[in-house]
Amino acid sequence: MKPEDVIIPEEALSETFLAATGPGGQNVNKVATAVQLRVDVFRLALHPDVYERLKGIAGSRMTGGGELLITARRFRTQEANRADARRRLAEMIAAAHIAPRKRKATRPSRAAKAERVENKRQRSAVKKTRGKVTFD
């Protein structure tokens, strides 16, 4: 799934604007350009497996009440920060939809086992030749 394919219902989102840090000069002190996007994950109606993966991806950004917090303050304008926050949310949801591949169990071949044992035997022989030096 691509981030462009993710559909996020508006009723699951709430935005608050706060004063940002960083570039912007005096404007930063006057205008609330940073966006804090709160997403009610339960309203997204995700499959339980996808929800668990999203929790893992979100980490500490996920609250105990099932809200996902994304703060965007990279840009100087509210609109750019809003778009950035929504894009990051869509990327996280798209990444959560990708199921990890199952590991297929494999065994070493008989030749590989024999080679390993032979290498151990050679190393053992080298180490056996080491020892205390006597001067008699």
* pLDDT, tens only, 67-100: 889 988 888 888 899 899 989 988 888 899 888 8
Distances (CA, A) of 54 to 8, 41, 51, 68: 14, 9, 5, 10
Domains annotated for the chain, with CATH where assigned, are 3-96 (3.30.160.20)
3-state secondary structure of 28: helix
* pLDDT, tens only, 6-52: 777 777 788 888 877 766 666 666 778 888 888 888 888 888 898 88
- Label residue 50 exposed, middle or buried (CB < 10 Å: 0-12, 13-18, 19+): middle
What pLDDT does residue 61 have? 87
Indicate the pTM of the whole model.
0.67
